[in-house]
Amino acid sequence: MEIFKATNVTKDYAGHRALDGVSISTKEQSIFGLLGPNGAGKTTLIRIINQITAPDAGEVQLFGRKLKANDIQHIGYLPEERGLYKKMKVGEQALYLAQLKGLSKRDALKSLKYWFEKFEIQAWWNKKVEELSKGMQQKIQFIITVVHKPKLLIFDEPFSGFDPINANLLKNEILDLKNQGATIIFSTHNMASVEETCDHIALINQSKKILDGPIDEIKESYKQDIYEIETTVPHDVTSEFSRNGFQLIDYELKGLSQRVKFRLEKEMTSNDLLQMLMQKMEIRSFREVIPSMNEVFIQVVGQANPKKQTA
C-alpha cells in the first residue's frame, strides 16, 4: 500500500522553479531516501507534504486520497533547522508540543515517559533547553517528532550534530520505528546512512527527479564489470593482467598480499577469469565491486550538471 504519493508536483518562487513535475511514492513500512544537492528542491517537497506551502501544480496524496488539513496529525516532521524554545523547560515543552499533536495530557505523559526512559534522559525533564548540548537537544526534538506515533515520519538530516555513538543509536531507533509499522521519508547528504537504512531512493537535481528506485537495483545498474582480487605477493599479478588485456584500475601491496582492482573484458566471465588465475597464483579473495550510493550520487549528478564539473 502507498502511504504517500506526489504526482507531477511543481512549485515556483518569484520566477525560480523549485520543483518541476516531480513524482514520488512511498510504500507502507519502508524507508524512502529523498536525495539531492543543496538547492535541488528536497526541502520544498518536504514543506509541501507538511502543508507549510502548497504546490502550484500536481497533487499530493496521503493514504490513497488527497492530502487534507487534519492529516498533519498523522505526520511527524524533524526539520534540519531545529526549533525548540531555549528558555522553556524540556519536559514542559515536550508535553505542550505532544498535546498540540493531538495527544491527551495523560497519553502524552505516558509516551514521553517511555521515550525519556528509553534514552535514559529522565534527569533532563526540568532542565531548560539552553542548558543542554546540541546533541541532547537533538534527542528531545526526535522524541517530540515521534511521540504521537505518526504513520508518516519525515527526517531532514536527522544525524546532524550527533557523535558516531548517538548517530548509531538514532539510526537503530529509526529502523525500529519502521519495524513497528511507520513509513519514513529520510533526507540526508550522508550516503552511508542511506545505504544502511533506506529501501528506496529518489534523487532530485535542479528541481527535477533524475533517479528513482530500490537501492540494490540502482547500485546493480551502475556497476561497471570491475573486480577486486587479493593474491599472495610472489606472483607478478600486474604483468599477468597486462598480458591478458585487462584494464588495471588500482594496485596495492599490503604485507604478504597484493590487491588489484581491474575491469573485466566483456567477452570473459568472472568464472573464466578466476579459473585462469587459480592455475597461476594463490587467490585469497575475489569479489565484484558494486558502486556505493555515494559514487552513484556523484556520477549521476555530475552527468546532469556537466558545466559545473568543468567550472
pLDDT for the residue numbered 309? 46
231, 281 Cβ separation under 8 angstroms: yes
Task: Report which of 29, 28, 30, 23 is spatially closest to residue 6, judged by C-alpha positions.
Answer: 23
Candidate from 67-71, 166-170, 267-271 with smallest mean pLDDT: 267-271
**Sign of the CA dihedral with 153 first, then 11, 37, and 220 last:** positive
CA dist 311 and 306 (Å) reads 9
pLDDT at 277 over 90: no
pLDDT digits (tens, 9 = 90+) for 179-191: 999 999 999 888 9
Whole-model pTM above 0.75?
Answer: yes
Contact 203, 212 (CB under 8 A): yes
pLDDT digits (tens, 9 = 90+) for 142-180: 999 999 999 999 999 888 878 888 889 999 999 999 999
Q: Which cell goes with 233?
A: 605477493
Domains of the chain: 2-220 (3.40.50.300), 224-288 (3.30.70)
Between the two ends of the chain, the Cα-to-Cα distance in Å is 44
Cα dist from 30 to 25, 48, 219, 262, 302, whole Å:
11, 20, 18, 36, 28
214-261 pLDDT tens trace = 999 999 999 988 888 888 766 666 676 666 667 778 888 877 788 888
pLDDT in tens, 127-147: 999 998 888 888 999 999 999
Q: Dig out the grid coordinates for 99 from the structure.
A: 498535546
